[in-house]
Amino acid sequence: MQYLFVGAGQAGTQIVDQIFAHDNIDLRAEPLAFNSTIQDLERLNNIPQDRWYGVSESDGLVSGTVRGFEEQVTGGFGQTPTKADRVMRRNEGEVHRVLDEVYEELEADPSTLQYAFVFLGLGGGTGCGIAPHIARQIRSYAESEMDIVSMAVLPNTKLVNQGAQVDDDAALDNQIQQCENAVFGLDNLEDEVESIMLVDNQRLALDVAEGNEYSEYNRYVADAFLDIVLGAERERTDVQLDVQMQDVDLQDLIRFIDGDGFRAGYATVGRGVRQTESLLGYLLPGSIGRQPIQETGLIADSIDKQTLDGFSPNDATSAVAVAQAPGWCWDDKSIALGSVYDELGYYCANVNAGWAVTKRNLASVTTAFGFDREDIDRIAEIERIAEREGQA
Ligand SMILES: Nc1nc2c(ncn2[C@@H]2O[C@H](COP(=O)(O)OP(=O)(O)OP(=O)(O)O)[C@@H](O)[C@H]2O)c(=O)[nH]1
Ligand SMILES: [Mg+2]
């Protein structure tokens, strides 16, 4: 097993659940879900119960298959990451026990672990409190050098931004609290992982965010994340696909958005996708029904749809792209990697790209842009709001 996908807290486990909705993901990857709220674990469709771990005040990490799971995991750190953090400190080493269990059951060799991906919502208590500990312990468990990439959800702050017109004090305080949690989470996480990909809930329409209707957004970020981190590799896991790919590997792509070696690098992602064949194309052989595709449009879409509010590609230090399309798109040059480099090179000097031929009737370009934390205005905004805590 080469890849470990870890969800921490509600948002984190939901995104991992979406990732494992993909058919061929689990050949080389294993999901783990950690949460303090059993009801949230029970909502998972694609992560089996023996990969659930409850985070319990009294009992540390409790396996989802243990008798009395419900009694031990009594739920929620109520948006207080310091509480979740304390539980993990008191139970240092429990993540190693969990990994022992997983590897033993799979009869797998821990030295094959190359990458861990850790997902969390930064606004809450559980994910923020436990994710940095999980990352650190995975690294110390691995028997060889490995990379850890995190995907972290920024809270929306629309009410705070509306300021005086808001009369719902509780909701306003809640957003301020979430910002404080986010700063706590990022500060701790960036010491433990190579890169942090941000998913900003501010990009959601207010009614979607308020209705806790995240499934579509989760699906989108799950797809974009997989494209960037596994890219062509993912196609290769399905042996029937007979995929050709450029030998830019995962290692190169991840290193690209790596930080300075001490602190994590930050990144955002976005994905542009088009159908390459009209409905007619599914029914008739040959080139009938083929839709014209141009990579410039796909790149523009991927930039428009970056997962950060106020995103500006000009502030990026690096850019990574993964282009995927059916063979004929590459043959007739409707997609060319050279123009991907050209387009992205317009924004920043460091560009890297990988590509894959797929048998699906889709063409996509997924881009990730790398940033230093200091250059992300949205984090600065969240830090400012967090400082208001207590004065609101
Ligand atoms: N994008 C996205 N955001 C989510 C999702 N679920 C919750 N959030 C957001 O994530 C933040 C809260 O993080 P949660 O993951 O719910 O918190 P937690 O880690 O379970 O921590 P607790 O406070 O202990 O429940 C809030 O800003 C929510 O709006 C989700 O499925 N997708
Ligand atoms: Mg929760």
Does residue 127 line the site of ligand 1, with CB under 6 A?
yes
What residue owns the CA closest to ligand 1's atom 29? 155
Q: How far apart are CA 217 and CA 199, in angstroms?
A: 9
Q: What does pTM read for this prediction?
A: 0.93
pLDDT at site 163: 75
pLDDT at site 21: 93
150 pairs with which residues across the strands? 118, 196
pLDDT at site 238: 42
* Mean of pLDDT values over 111-134: 95
What residue owns the CA closest to ligand 1's atom 31? 11
Residues of the chain with CATH 3.40.50.1440: 3-193
* Mean of pLDDT values over 115-138: 97
pLDDT at site 237: 42
pLDDT at site 143: 79
More confident residue, 120 or 171: 120
* Mean of pLDDT values over 274-285: 70
pLDDT at site 352: 86
Which residues are CB-contacts of 377 (< 8 A; sequence separation ≥ 6)? 310
Asked if 278 and 310 count as a contact pair (C-beta separation under 8 A), the reply is: no
Strand 29-35 versus strand 52-56 pairing type = parallel
Report whether pLDDT(102) > 60.
yes
The half-sphere exposure of 138 on its side-chain side, counting CA atoms within 13 A, is 27
What residue owns the CA closest to ligand 1's atom 5? 11
pLDDT at site 207: 78
Q: Which of 3.40.1190.20, 3.30.930.10, 3.40.50.1440, 3.40.190.10 would CATH assign to domain 3-193? A: 3.40.50.1440
Report whether pLDDT(1) > 80.
no
Q: How far apart are CA 104 and CA 110, in angstroms?
A: 9
Which residues are CB-contacts of 390 (< 8 A; sequence separation ≥ 6)? none
Does residue 9 line the site of ligand 1, with CB under 6 A?
yes
Residues of the chain with CATH 3.30.1330.190: 266-377
Give residue-wise pLDDT tens across range 302-318.
999 999 999 999 999 88
Asked if 182 and 123 count as a contact pair (C-beta separation under 8 A), the reply is: yes
Tell me 245's DSSP state.
Answer: B
* Mean of pLDDT values over 101-112: 90
Count of beta carbons in the 10 Å neighbourhood of residue 23 = 9
Indicate the pLDDT class of residue 335, thresholds 50, 70 and 90.
Answer: confident
* Mean of pLDDT values over 161-184: 87
The half-sphere exposure of 152 on its side-chain side, counting CA atoms within 13 A, is 34
Report the candidate in 362, 290, 292, 287 with the shortest Cα–Cα distance to residue 322.
362
Tell me 156's DSSP state.
Answer: P
More confident residue, 80 or 164: 80
Concatenated DSSP letters for 334-380? SS-HHHHHHHHHTT-SEEEEEEEE-SSSEEEEEEEEEE-GGG-HHHH
Q: How far apart are CA 57 and CA 35, in angstroms?
A: 12
CA end-to-end distance (rounded Å), the chain:
48
pLDDT at site 258: 64
Q: Has domain 266-377 been given CATH number 3.40.50.300?
A: no
User: Cα torsion for 12, 220, 229, 136, to the nearest 10°?
Assistant: -10
For residue 21, the CA-to-ligand 1 centroid distance in Å is: 20
Does residue 124 line the site of ligand 1, with CB under 6 A?
yes
Report whether pLDDT(247) > 50.
no
Concatenated DSSP letters for 53-103? EEEETTTEEEETTSTTHHHH-----TT-HHHHHHHHHHTTTHHHHHHHHHH
Q: How far apart are CA 219 and CA 21, in angstroms?
A: 9
* Mean of pLDDT values over 185-207: 93
369 pairs with which residues across the strands? 268, 319
**AA identity, residue 12:** G
Which range scores top for mean pLDDT: 198-202, 272-276, 289-293? 198-202
Average the pLDDT over each of 11-25, 326-340, 372-386 and give the range with the smallest value: 326-340
* Mean of pLDDT values over 210-227: 91
Does residue 177 line the site of ligand 1, with CB under 6 A?
no
Does residue 185 line the site of ligand 1, with CB under 6 A?
no
